[in-house]
């Protein structure tokens, strides 16, 4: 089989613990760190790479900046004139050290570069620019220079991208494993419309309007169906125009807005697919492709299921502070990523896990960096890239200085990586038999009903704020007498948060699951809790019934919707056969139901007191507890009482060498403020 895959051109494939290198079938954990070759004199390349390897990193993360390599319009320097730009030489040095590489050629790379790595001439070309509803350029207020963002639908922009890939692609192709070190290639970067991701911020470019009409044709098939959905007897596929602001007052007016929000997901996916094809045409093939979602991805048009149809690996970025609020956000993000990746046999990957920060953003100190990585690993992450591993201009606080000298933080990471390797971390799993599902229809409605205009919805998500703090509270009912009803977004969020609190209180490990990837995200699950409010696609109920038929308990609530995913009235009711409806008339019912399920389903419990301290247990393939992560996001030292099944002793593997003996049925663990302790189980 391996030989056939090699003959077919597959060099590397995704596996749960990282990458499998063919034909040897060696597994490579994605333990990576970022270095920007063009920001360092070539004399610093060797000591920096040596320091990265000495720290325990196996993979070098390499951005390839279009705007730096392009010296004149469509004329590129790859080291012929400036030795700092000799990409092929740098990658050769990576291979010489037995390291591997993730190549990230953009076109957008951010990298804290002016214009995010794009050539200035491209961002100022009106034909390439995304447009506002008034046909103006969409400006990103970024330091040091605000600039107009490109349109992901623009034909001229994609033609420019194809020429860039044609220039850098042959170098990357020659550097692919096994001839070179490149084992993973990223397509674009943080594709959330350049952080101008409000539903009505963009993109009203003529090419985008044309693509929107293509999307409508694919979705509705016939003009009569479109007219019925939009409540417009005159609209056709050729004349349909997107909304420019949220102006729906009743539920029958929502479909047009939800179509526009869904189209933005379609826009990003089709653009990524086109870029992926362009890179393949340049010769880069046989290794997996990747795309990274930024913070707040749940409030953006980035849809992991759609992107996953055209890109092999969907990853997340992590820039969190060690606080209880951001810990809660990290749990939701990581468990959703992990549940989807595990169902697909992919490694849950943190494409950027902050180590340091750019000086024009909110500071992250060393405790923030180490805490974020450890907590993400505790909740399912199985690969990561320290961004940045090597310090450079516009970045401070990395573990290795610009000349290859390790700092104190490098010793901390080295100890962590050694502990993970020694305890078989990459083969362990966090068993989470309970899944909390937020349907995509609710997330789309939340984007459409975002109440704060130009303030990006993602910002509220990053800060741990939910729909209650960011969305209009209109219940969208055609019956004015029912105005006292709550908005579907608020109903759905309240339902899931009630169960989240109840599960945390009793120490039951759970994970979030994306509604659009329900099948992949619920393998091995004992209990699914799905918020059903407002409207839901019939196929979601079909997937839930399929899980119920295989023995999984499925709880829906607090109502059975009478509308579909576009909030159109159903012609026949949703089929909820075999599903348990919970109205959750009182929040205490969530706790009572969790208590009952613990007994009925024999759910694992890892209670901890106080609840501010968090615990995550990782198991081997035989279901035995192997590692325990104890996390304290509070600012001061806290002693917690916790229970880990029948474990009699916990041996600390990071950051110290303490030993805890079981006493009175549990363990007393003192955890310093904003820190994580990791124990092996005896």
Domain boundaries, the chain: 26-198+269-426, 434-601, 609-681
Note whether 605 and 506 are within 8 A (CB). yes
pLDDT at residue 245, rounded to an integer: 96
Flag residues of the chain having pLDDT under 50. 1-7, 480-483
- Name, in order, each residue with C-beta under 8 angstroms of 385's C-beta and a sequence gap of 6 or more: 30, 32, 33, 34, 59, 61, 102, 349, 350, 351, 352, 353
CA 432/CA 203 separation, integer angstroms: 39
Structure-block tokens of residue 287? 């290794």
Note whether 55 and 389 are within 8 A (CB). yes
Note whether 230 and 255 are within 8 A (CB). yes
SS3 at position 1: coil
Calculate the alpha carbon distances from 245 to 134, 150, 299, 448, 579 in Å.
11, 21, 17, 9, 38
Strand partners, 557: 531
Structure-block tokens of residue 374? 């450890």
How many CB atoms sit inside 10 A of residue 623's CB? 9
CATH class of 609-681: mainly beta
DSSP state of 570: P
Beta strands in 633-674 (DSSP E): 638-642, 649-654, 659-661, 667-671
DSSP state of 535: -
How many CB atoms sit inside 10 A of residue 363's CB? 12
CA 379/CA 510 separation, integer angstroms: 10
Strands 383-387 and 31-34, how do they pair?
A: parallel
The phi, psi pair for 517, rounded to 5°, reads -125, 45
- Domain 434-601 fold: Rossmann fold (3.40.50)
Burial (0-12, 13-18, 19+ Cβ within 10 Å), 611: middle
SS3 at position 628: strand
Calculate the alpha carbon distances from 214 to 79, 219, 221 in Å.
43, 9, 10
Note whether 318 and 373 are within 8 A (CB). yes
Which of 92, 102, 148 lies closest to 122 in space, CA to CA? 148
Which of 49, 7, 32 lies closest to 404 in space, CA to CA? 49
Helix (H) and strand (E) counts in the chain = 20, 28
Q: What sign results for the dihedral spanned by CA atoms 551, 557, 563, 565? A: negative
Give me the helix-helix angle, 255-281 and 223-230, nearest 10°. Answer: 130
Which of 263, 278, 157, 163 lies closest to 214 in space, CA to CA? 263
CATH class of 26-198+269-426: alpha beta
Residue with tokens 């109920």, as numbered in its chain: 541
Which of 420, 271, 430, 259 lies closest to 337 in space, CA to CA? 430
Per-residue DSSP letters for 347-415?
--EEEEEESSB-TTS----HHHHHHHHHHHHHTT--EEEEETSB--TT-B--SB-TTS-B-HHHHHHHH
pLDDT at residue 5, rounded to an integer: 35
The phi, psi pair for 15, rounded to 5°, reads -135, 165
CA 118/CA 109 separation, integer angstroms: 8
Note whether 488 and 442 are within 8 A (CB). yes
CA 30/CA 312 separation, integer angstroms: 15
How many CB atoms sit inside 10 A of residue 456's CB? 21
The phi, psi pair for 458, rounded to 5°, reads -60, -30
């Amino acid at each position: 089989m391996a030989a056939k895959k090699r003959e077919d051109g597959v060099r590397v494939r995704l596996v749960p613990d990282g990458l499998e290198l063919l034909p040897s079938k060696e597994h490579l954990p994605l333990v990576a760190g970022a270095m920007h070759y063009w920001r360092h004199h070539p004399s610093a390349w060797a000591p920096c790479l040596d320091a990265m390897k000495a720290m325990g990193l196996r993979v070098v993360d390499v951005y390839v900046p279009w705007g730096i390599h392009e010296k004149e319009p469509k004329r590129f320097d790859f080291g012929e004139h400036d030795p700092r730009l000799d990409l092929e030489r740098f990658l050769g040095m990576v291979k010489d050290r037995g390291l591997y590489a993730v190549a990230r050629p953009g076109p957008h790379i951010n990298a804290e570069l002016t214009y995010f790595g794009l050539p200035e001439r491209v961002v100022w070309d009106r034909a390439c620019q995304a447009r506002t509803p008034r046909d103006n350029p969409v400006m990103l207020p970024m330091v040091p220079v605000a600039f107009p963002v490109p349109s992901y639908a623009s034909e001229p922009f994609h033609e420019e991208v194809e020429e860039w890939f044609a220039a850098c692609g042959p170098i990357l192709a020659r550097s692919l494993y096994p001839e070179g070190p490149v084992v993973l290639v990223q397509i674009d970067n943080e594709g959330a419309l350049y952080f101008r991701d409000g539903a009505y911020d963009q993109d009203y470019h003529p090419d985008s309007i044309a693509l929107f009409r293509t999307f409508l044709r694919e979705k509705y098939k016939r003009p009569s169906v479109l007219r019925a959905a939009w409540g417009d007897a005159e609209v056709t596929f050729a004349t349909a125009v997107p909304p420019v602001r949220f102006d729906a007052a009743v539920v029958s007016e929502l479909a047009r807005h939800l179509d526009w929000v869904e189209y933005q997901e379609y826009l990003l996916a089709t653009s990524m697919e086109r870029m992926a094809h362009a890179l393949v045409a340049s010769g880069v093939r046989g290794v997996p492709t990747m795309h990274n979602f930024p913070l707040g991805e749940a409030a953006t048009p980035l849809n992991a299921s759609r992107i996953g149809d055209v890109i092999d690996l969907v990853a997340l970025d992590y820039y969190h502070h060690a606080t209880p609020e951001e810990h809660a956000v990290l749990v939701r993000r990581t468990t959703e990523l992990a549940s989807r990746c595990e169902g697909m046999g992919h490694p849950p990957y943190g494409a950027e896990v902050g180590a340091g920060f750019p000086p024009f953003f909110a500071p992250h100190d060393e405790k923030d960096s180490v805490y974020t990585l450890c907590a993400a690993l505790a909740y399912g992450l199985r690969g990561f890239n320290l961004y940045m591993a090597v310090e450079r201009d516009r970045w401070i606080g990395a573990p290795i200085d610009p000349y290859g000298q390790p700092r104190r933080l490098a010793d901390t990471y080295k100890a962590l990586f050694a502990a993970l390797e020694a305890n078989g971390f990459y083969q362990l799993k966090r068993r989470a038999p309970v899944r909390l599902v937020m349907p995509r229809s609710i997330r789309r409605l939340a984007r459409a009903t975002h109440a704060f205009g130009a303030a990006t919805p993602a910002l509220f998500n990053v800060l741990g704020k939910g729909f209650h703090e960011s969305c209009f509270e209109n219940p969208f009912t055609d019956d004015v007498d029912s105005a006292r009803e709550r908005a579907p977004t608020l109903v759905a969020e309240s339902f899931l948060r009630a169960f989240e609190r109840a599960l945390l209180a009793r120490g039951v490990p759970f994970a979030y699951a994306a509604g659009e990837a329900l099948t992949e995200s619920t393998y091995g699950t004992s209990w699914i809790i799905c918020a059903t409010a407002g409207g839901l696609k019939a196929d979601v109920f079909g997937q839930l019934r399929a899980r119920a038929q295989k023995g999984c308990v499925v709880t829906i609530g607090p109502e059975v919707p009478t509308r579909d995913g576009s909030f159109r009235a159903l012609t026949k009711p949703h089929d909820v056969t075999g599903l348990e409806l919970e109205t959750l008339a009182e929040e205490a019912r969530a706790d009572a139901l969790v208590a009952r399920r613990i007994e009925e389903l024999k759910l694992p419990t890892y209670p901890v007191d106080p609840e501010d301290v968090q615990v995550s247990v990782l198991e081997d393939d035989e279901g035995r507890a192997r590692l325990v992560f104890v996390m304290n996001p509070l600012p001061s030292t806290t002693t917690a009482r916790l229970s880990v099944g029948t474990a009699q002793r916990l041996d600390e593997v990071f950051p110290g060498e303490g030993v805890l003996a079981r006493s009175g049925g549990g363990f007393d663990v003192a955890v310093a403020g904003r820190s994580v302790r990791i124990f092996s189980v005896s």
